[in-house]
Structure 1
Amino acid sequence: MNKLKKILNSPILRWFFLAIALAGLLWVIVKNWASLTEALAALPWQITASSFVLAVAYVFFTMWSWKVILADLGSDINWNTSTQLFGVSQIGKYIPGGVWNIVAAAEIGRDHKIPARRSVTAMTVAVLISLLSGAGIGVLTVLSTSVSIQVPTWLIVLLLVVLVALLMPPVLNRLIGFGFKLLKRPAPERQMTFKGLGLATLLAVIAWGIAGVQIWLLACGFGMEPSASGMALSIGAYALAWVAGFLVVVVPAGTGVRESVLGLFFASALTSGGVLAVVLVSRIAMTFADLLFAALGALLKMRGGRR
């Protein structure tokens, strides 16, 4: 066990992980570059710029939600440290598997005296809140639109009730405790409270709203008629597409899966080419936002190390 800890704490392993994660992130950009430039040529620059700003805002609110969870668990860190931990760890999303950002957050958190089990719990709960709130928003969208799915309405409503129940502290804390028991590790010293979990969920919902507005703005730029109902559809469609992409762990950052889900929702509002253009520009904007936070986090970490 001690040998394993030494390996995990090795600077060489950290740099290797960072190189793989950056390679995955850059692969997303390079692979889609030709199609991206073609799509951007047909899009007003104001919408392109707004798309990137909204992507940065989405990542910021996601980080804020995670910061609230970590504080509720006992580590109330400042924004400087939050950007270091969250920004650098998030590029782990671009490695297939769906857990590498959690592993990275735990390893970086050690440098700031944050127990690994607390870091793991905070990032896991943050991801779980995103999944549950995103699924909830998506379920509401399915119920309020004419999208055809082969699932009974009563089952969808039941799923929504289950999602709400899972976001209650008594239920969530038991799930966390059960998870650590299965791993034969001690549970975190503190449990999530209604206040902390409620604020974290609210921030996650705001993040989904921002991401959905980005999708709506891009869809309008590629030919969809602007409307309030279209904006609501965009928010729910993106949330559900992100959840589906996350659950398919064999591809980095949900590549391909989100396109399919969004295509289902926008089939009557956009051409297939328009849907692909919306997804592509949104994905690259989100990727650049992740890269920006990673670079800022790495810079802050380097500056802190020199003091």
Structure 2
Amino acid sequence: MSQQGPLPEASVPEPQTKRQKITDFARRALLVIVLAAAVYAVVTQWPEVKSTVYGMTWWQITASLLLLIPGVLLGMLMWRVVLLGILDSDHSAVKHRSVLNNIYLIGQLGKYVPGSVWAFVLQMELGRKHGLGRAQVFVASLISTGITVGASLVVGALALPALANQEPALQWLYILLPVVLLAMHPRIVTFLVNLVLKIFRRQPLTTPLRASTMILSFGLGVGMYAFFGLHLWLLSSQEAGLGLVNLFFLTGALALGMTTGVMAFLLPAGIGAREAIVGLALASMTTVGAATALALLSRLLFTVADLLCVGIAFLVVKIKRPEVEG
């Protein structure tokens, strides 16, 4: 009769240190705050847009909301491509991409707290929780923001000439475009990434960022704005009408509006800055009152879409977790 060896001892997780407990509590508190801020944004904006909603058909509202979801997800993919380009393909995080999706989408809700830096902070903390370095996550978020600005300026060229005629102050965007596009060169991005990593006292990238990473992420950024433009075009069709000229113009205007929103980083999600540009564009097609209402309604639907995408990503992680653990 064969003699069995001793059973392996069950691994007991090490108790958390006081610092780890404080960090974990702060991370959860920040998550609650940003979720509450996003919900608060929906509640406070509803009185201003409800009359506009009641005057539209249900399918128009629903379709314009659904068009935002693939746009948000393309933004998520853009960030993920950049992060994986920084981490390199052999990193263990590649195996759990649904977790990366959650980090981005939940982190993005930080933009609803005044001072858009909270989106970066939350993404860094969520990344740290899942074994990623804060510096790498911060750099990925910084690069993807720059690519987003570059893509928005290229798409915004569809509307910038007309908008600059109405508002000459927007002409500074002509200067920003070549600067941003030049800064997106892989060698320049790699240099800037290593500079940030040095500030964080982290090792530089083992290999430079690939041109394919920058090109793919830029293409995803352009695709993101294409869906966002379709959303605004359909949402305003009752007032402004359907037409390809309107589609291109409104897509460019929304892209520029979102870029000015990024610049107004002290405002929650660029509130006011984006609506000013979008309202200016819509006012050239309809009344000022209708343009303002549509710009605010678009803002509200963006918030709802962000919350829906977070919910979807959370469910995907819950469903896939048994597979990962198995």
Give the structure-2-normalised TM-score: 0.83
User: Quick check: 1:66–1:122 contact (8 Å CA) kept in 2?
Assistant: yes
Q: How far is 1:299 from its partner?
A: 4.1
Change in 2 beyond 3 A, CA 1:139/1:159: farther
Match of 1:289 in 2: 305
Confirm or deny that 1:64 pairs with 2:77. yes
Residues 199 and 268 (structure 1), Cα distance of their counterparts in 2 relative to 1, 3 Å cut: same
Q: C-alpha distance in 2, partners of 1:267/1:211?
A: 19
Q: 1:182 to 1:216 in 2, by over 3 A?
A: same
Matched, 1:268 2:284: yes
> Is the 1:62–1:204 Cα contact (8 Å) retained in structure 2?
yes
- Quote the offset at 1:79 in angstroms: 4.0
Residue correspondence of structure 1 range 58-97 to structure 2 within 5 A:
58-73=71-86, 74=88, 75=91, 76-97=94-115
Q: What SS does the corresponding residue of 2:165 show, helix, strand or coil? A: coil
Match of 2:125 in 1: 107
Cα-to-partner distance string for 1:253-274 (whole Å, 9 max, x where unaligned): 1111211111222222021222
Task: Note if 1:29 corresponds to 2:45.
Answer: no
Give the letter aligned to residue 127 of structure 1: T
Contact 2:152 2:259 in 1 (8 A): yes
Give 1:218's aligned residue: 235
Does the 8 Å CA contact 2:159/2:250 hold for their aligned counterparts?
A: no
Aligned-residue sequence identity (percent) comes to 25
1:184, CA displacement in angstroms?
4.6
Say which SS state the counterpart of residue 58 (structure 1) adopts. Answer: helix
Between 90-99 and 68-77, the greater mean CA deviation after superposition: 68-77
Partner of 1:15: 28
Partner Cα distance (1:152, 1:88) in 2: 32
Task: Name the amino acid aligned to 1:136.
Answer: V
Tell me which structure has the larger Cα radius of gyration: 2
Contact 2:34 2:109 in 1 (8 A): yes
Structure 1 length-normalised TM: 0.88
Distance 1:233 1:147, change over 3 A: farther
Greater relative contact order, per chain length (Cα 8 Å cut-off, separation 6+): 1
CA drift at 1:232? 0.7
**C-alpha separation in 2, matches of 1:146 and 1:253:** 23
CA distance in 2, matches of 1:95, 1:160: 28
**Partner in structure 1 of residue 165 of structure 2:** 147
Judge conservation of contact 1:85–1:297 (CA < 8 Å) in 2. Answer: no
* 1:129 aligned partner, one-letter code: I
CA deviations 1:181-231 (Å, max 9, x no partner) are 44554434443210011001000100011101111111112x103211111
Residue in structure 1 matched with residue 7 of structure 2 by the alignment: none
Quick one: structure 1 residues 237 and 283, their matched pair in 2 at CA, closer, same or farther if it must change by over 3 Å? Answer: same
- Structure 1 pair 290/13, CA: closer, same or farther in 2 (3 Å)? same
Q: Partner residue of 2:53? A: 40
Q: Quote the Cα distance in structure 2 between the aligned partners of 1:287 and 1:96.
A: 15
Shift of 1:291: 0.8
Structure 1 unaligned regions, length at least 5: none
C-alpha distance in 1 between matches for 2:113 and 2:307: 14
The answer on whether the counterparts of 1:87 and 1:296 sit within 8 Å (CA) in structure 2 is: no
Alpha-carbon RMSD: 2.6
Matched, 1:280 2:280: no
Counterpart residue type for residue 256 of structure 1: G
Distance in 2 of aligned mates of 1:169 and 1:186: 18
Residue range with higher mean Cα deviation, 251-260 or 202-211: 251-260
Q: What SS does the aligned partner of 1:32 have?
A: helix
Letter of the structure 1 residue corresponding to residue 258 of structure 2: W
Query: Could you tell me how far 1:35 is from its partner in structure 2?
Result: 2.5
On the 8 A contact 2:31/2:122 being kept in 1, the answer is no
Give the gaps of 5 or more residues in structure 2.
1-16
Letter in 2 for 1:291: L
DSSP 3-state at the match of 1:10: helix
In the other structure, the counterpart of 1:250 is 266
In structure 2, distance between residues paired with 1:183 and 1:54: 39
- What is the distance in 1 between the residues matched to 2:194 and 2:220? 24
Structure 2 match to 1:205: 222
1:192 equivalent to 2:205? Answer no
Does the C-alpha gap of structure 1 residues 127 and 279 become closer, same or farther in structure 2, counting only changes over 3 Å? Answer: same
